[in-house]
Amino acid sequence: MMFDGKVAIVTGASRGIGRAIAVDFAQHGAEIALVGRDREALDATETACRAVRDTVKCLILKGDAADPAAVESFVTQTLDAFGRVDFAIANAGQSRDGLIVRLKKETLDELLAVNLKSAFYLCHTVAKPMMKQHSGSIVLVSSIVGLTGNAGQAVYAASKAGLLGLTKSLAKELGSRNIRVNAVAPGLIETSMTEKMPAAAREYLLKQTALGRAGKPEDVSGVVRFLCSDAAGYMTGQTLVVDGGVVM
């Protein structure tokens, strides 16, 4: 599962799962376009990539993955820098919990933009160069709550469930051009997002986890790398659950 000569664009690459994916791909030979809103954090991701392979070429793309014009610019800059895009990882996302009766319209709009629309914009933009190459792999980072739902996370769950429908539709739409589209659905992963979980909610979820522990971002990045590799060359339209045994 080496990616020598391949190019990956990763949204939400500033930290957590996105950073782990970037580092994993860099370690296995890919050049990386890093997308995020925090320049200092993106610099830290680049440093982490260089720590595992000092010859890696990183392109830092600071901006909003939920802005369609910005995404077009990201992909154009990636093509200008590297000449191709082989892997597109839609990882940008955020969570904001709350009961639906207290939901503000602004929260709905923001989460749908960051979690769902950003992935659509990335897929829309990378599809054309991938079709010209007649090859490519797209991975959307969803969540187990997109499969199960969760009280207090109606908007987050809906946005993550939308990614699963997008995955299946694009897999059928792009398969004839040798472009594969898959998703991962992580469970409780140790990131800055999950650090904000209430202790009781965290403990409850851990009790539902067969392995009895939270996952690490690297537990997800390895699965994403597999989905992009030739080892998964006959897989498309699938969702791989990475949750330590919650959803069975």
What's the pLDDT tens digit per position in 52-110? 999 999 999 999 999 999 999 999 999 999 999 999 999 999 988 889 899 888 999 99
Of 111, 106, 116, the closest CA to residue 96 belongs to 111
In the three-class reduction of DSSP (H, G, I as helix; E, B as strand; rest coil), residue 88 is classed as strand
Query: Which pLDDT band, with edges at 50, 70 and 90, does 48 fall under?
Result: very high
**Residue 116: strand pairing partners:** none
| Top-confidence residue, 194 or 240 | 240
| Residue given tokens 């990636």 in the structure block | 78
Question: How many whole angstroms from its chain centre is CA 205?
Answer: 22
Are residues 224 and 184 in contact, defined by beta-carbon separation less than 8 angstroms? Answer: yes
d(CA 186, CA 146): 10
Domain parsing of the chain, residue ranges: 7-235
User: Token pair of 122, please?
Assistant: 């990335």
Query: Given this structure, which CATH class describes domain 7-235?
Result: alpha beta
pLDDT digits (tens, 9 = 90+) for 154-191: 999 999 999 999 999 999 999 999 999 999 999 999 98
The secondary structure element, H or E, covering residue 7 is: strand 7-10
- Active site (catalytic) residues: 156
Residue 220, exposed/middle/buried by CB under 10 A (0-12, 13-18, 19+)?
buried
Using the 8-state DSSP alphabet, how is residue 213 labeled?
Answer: S
pLDDT digits (tens, 9 = 90+) for 184-227: 999 999 987 777 777 877 888 899 999 999 999 999 999 999 99
pLDDT value, residue 1: 80
- pLDDT at position 9 over 80: yes
Are residues 184 and 240 in contact, defined by beta-carbon separation less than 8 angstroms? Answer: yes
d(CA 145, CA 101): 19
Are residues 128 and 225 in contact, defined by beta-carbon separation less than 8 angstroms? Answer: no
User: Token pair of 190, please?
Assistant: 């140790």
pLDDT digits (tens, 9 = 90+) for 134-159: 999 999 999 999 999 988 899 999 99
Query: Which pLDDT band, with edges at 50, 70 and 90, does 6 fall under?
Result: very high
- pLDDT at position 22 over 80: yes
Of 52, 20, 25, 17, the closest CA to residue 187 belongs to 17
Average pLDDT score over residue span 26-55:
98
